């Protein structure tokens, strides 16, 4: 799955050919680099908590809630933990070699994670977040009120963050020591193991384990979703999208289908821009290595504003992406399935395309950004997507 590769190879810029095995890890304790009390010491080694390959409903709810509670930014700003890591004073606890570079383990008390790991030239940051034990996360998931109970010692979640997304790879029963972190991160980089879960935009958690329920994602704060801050999913949540990994997804309300792939274009994610029944707005994103197609399906029963709305969407897209070279517009009109459209090449040399059409109570918008080598494949994909739609009424 593309998401797994993004979590390791792309997001953290790993080069697996030089990764170290556990036996090869060279750990260097730092001396006199920070005050002795700059970070609380680990009380033990920290043992990984086993997460089953297939999750029953309780295990599914516990893992999703635990990831959300441990990693979400309560301020809503989406800057945790990087802002707090940046504000923390120097507290370097150890260094180790892995994946051809030297990683530094740092620590802090307060709002910053108790541990984090960085390496020169690597985009992503790995960190350990304190969160509820899974049984306490399960109890909280049943009420969703206040703080989770503390019937057990806290768990610690090993995560990596890049581009605002947080991938969870391990959960420990206590704060892991530097040796455990060095060994586990080295093994993770070597094997490129898939994550357990990801917390993405809109406080949406996607689980990368099989589930007996057939539901793989959950949005924890749907009331906070806006078009500027959509919820992003990598698996179907059973509410807005239904379908399993590698299967077609059916969109709520419209019944529109987002296939798992169209030729070279693979489905990369789903998003919810408006969760309300009256104006539900959902999308699916498709991608190759360098090109993207996004489908938006919005409920808009009143047809009287279509012409002005279509013109506004096209104008906004042209203004945001610039239009130094206009291309022939897609065919539109009563004899064609498209009601409005525009195509151009932007200043970066990428082809941009916008197509809009009404289907019953819904407006469908297709947006594409392609390198020129992908234009033919993108055109074939768009034709297939349009063919999946019901005919104009």
pLDDT band for 138, please (50, 70, 90 cuts).
very high
Do the Cβ atoms of 112 and 87 come closer than 8 Å? yes
Between 57-71 and 134-141, two packed helices, what is the crossing angle to 10 degrees?
100
Do the Cβ atoms of 173 and 131 come closer than 8 Å? no
Distance (Å, whole) CA 127 – CA 49:
17
pLDDT band for 350, please (50, 70, 90 cuts).
very high
- For the cut 60, the answer to whether the pLDDT of residue 273 exceeds it is yes
Q: What is the pLDDT of residue 391?
A: 73
Higher pLDDT, 182 or 372: 182
Higher pLDDT, 12 or 220: 220
Once rounded to an integer, what is the mean pLDDT over residues 122-145?
94
Q: What is the pLDDT of residue 137?
A: 98
Distance (Å, whole) CA 299 – CA 253:
8
pTM for the predicted model, two decimal places:
0.88
Region of poorest pLDDT, from 84-93, 145-154, 240-249, 317-326:
317-326
Q: What is the pLDDT of residue 141?
A: 96
Show the CA angle centred on residue 339, arms to residues 334 and 344, nearest 5°.
130
Once rounded to an integer, what is the mean pLDDT over residues 366-377?
88
Higher pLDDT, 117 or 192: 117
- For the cut 80, the answer to whether the pLDDT of residue 334 exceeds it is no
Q: What is the pLDDT of residue 42?
A: 84
Do the Cβ atoms of 67 and 197 come closer than 8 Å? yes
Once rounded to an integer, what is the mean pLDDT over residues 153-157?
96
Pull the structure tokens for residue 211: 């589930």
- For the cut 90, the answer to whether the pLDDT of residue 139 exceeds it is yes
Query: What sign does the dihedral 16-22-28-34 (CA atoms) show?
Result: positive
Mean pLDDT of the chain: 87
Distance (Å, whole) CA 152 – CA 168:
21
Distance (Å, whole) CA 45 – CA 26:
17
Which percentage of the chain shows pLDDT scores above 90?
59
Distance (Å, whole) CA 58 – CA 233:
20
Calculate the dihedral angle through the C-alpha atoms of 116, 120, 122, 127, rounding to the nearest 10 degrees.
0
């Amino acid at each position: 799955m593309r998401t797994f590769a993004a979590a390791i190879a792309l997001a953290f810029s790993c080069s697996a050919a030089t990764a170290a095995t556990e036996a090869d890890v060279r750990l260097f304790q730092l001396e006199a680099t920070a005050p002795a009390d700059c970070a609380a010491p680990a009380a033990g080694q920290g043992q990984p908590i086993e997460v089953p390959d297939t999750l029953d409903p309780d295990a599914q709810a516990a893992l999703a809630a635990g990831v959300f509670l441990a990693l979400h930014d309560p301020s809503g700003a989406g800057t945790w933990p990087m802002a707090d890591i940046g504000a923390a004073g120097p507290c370097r606890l150890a260094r180790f070699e892995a994946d051809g570079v030297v990683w530094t383990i740092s620590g802090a008390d307060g709002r910053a994670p108790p541990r984090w790991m960085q390496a020169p030239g690597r985009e992503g940051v790995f960190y350990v977040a304190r969160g509820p034990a899974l049984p306490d996360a399960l109890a909280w998931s049943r009420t969703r009120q206040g703080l989770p109970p503390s019937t057990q010692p806290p768990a610690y979640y090993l995560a990596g963050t890049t581009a605002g997304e947080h991938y969870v790879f391990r959960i420990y029963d206590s704060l892991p020591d530097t040796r455990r972190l060095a060994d586990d991160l080295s093994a993770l980089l070597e094997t490129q193991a898939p994550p357990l879960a990801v917390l993405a935009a809109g406080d949406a958690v996607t689980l990368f384990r099989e589930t007996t329920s057939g539901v793989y994602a959950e949005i924890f704060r749907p009331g906070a979703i806006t078009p500027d801050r959509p919820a992003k999913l990598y698996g179907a949540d059973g509410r807005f999208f239904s379908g399993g990994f590698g299967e077609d997804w059916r969109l709520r309300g419209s019944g529109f289908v987002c296939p798992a792939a169209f030729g070279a274009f693979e489905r990369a994610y789903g998003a919810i821009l408006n969760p309300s029944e009256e104006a539900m707005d959902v999308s699916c994103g498709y991608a190759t290595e360098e090109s993207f197609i996004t489908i938006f399906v919005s409920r808009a029963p009143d047809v009287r504003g279509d012409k002005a709305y279509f013109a506004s969407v096209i104008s906004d897209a042209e203004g945001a992406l610039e239009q130094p070279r206009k291309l022939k517009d897609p065919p539109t009109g009563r004899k064609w399935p498209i009601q409005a459209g525009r195509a151009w090449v932007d200043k970066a040399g990428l082809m941009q395309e916008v197509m809009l059409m009404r289907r019953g109570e819904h407006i469908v918008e297709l947006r594409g950004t392609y390198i020129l080598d992908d234009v033919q494949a993108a055109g074939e994909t768009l034709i297939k997507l349009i063919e999946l739609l019901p005919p104009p009424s």
